[in-house]
Amino acid sequence: IILESEANDTLSSIYLCKSILDARRDVERVIVCSSPYHNPRCAILFRLVGIPAEIGEMPGDRPHLGWTKWLYYMAREIPATVWDVALVLSARLHGRPAAKPKTF
């Protein structure tokens, strides 16, 4: 298990994980273990940056979040996924390397 704890958003986390994994050169795939509503976006982004990814089975967090928060988080994943995928594809289309994560 490799934990990335520096990023402030999903896409930055993906790029930081890619840097970690590229340096190690001994990891064939990742298993995404986040909230079930967030796992698909993570897996898609890993695959787009060239890292094979599977979605791990995680317990649902709707009981802990309640319906309102859970629905909010589910709903925001749709535009967030579209936005992040567009950013990655745009970088690839323009031949730019992976974006550097924000540092503060």
pLDDT in tens, 45-71: 999 999 999 999 999 988 999 999 999
The pLDDT assigned to 46 comes to: 96
The pLDDT assigned to 94 comes to: 87
pLDDT in tens, 9-25: 999 999 999 999 999 98
| Dist. CA 16–CA 100, nearest whole Å | 8
Using the predicted structure, report yes or no on whether residue 98 has a pLDDT greater than 70: no
User: What's the CA angle centered on 84, arms 30 and 10, to 5 degrees?
Assistant: 50
The pLDDT assigned to 99 comes to: 59
- Mean pLDDT for 24-37 is 91
The closest of 2, 13, 28, 5 to 101, measured between CA atoms, is: 13
| Dist. CA 1–CA 57, nearest whole Å | 15
Q: Quote the tokens at residue 82.
A: 């579209």
Using the predicted structure, report yes or no on whether residue 103 has a pLDDT greater than 50: no
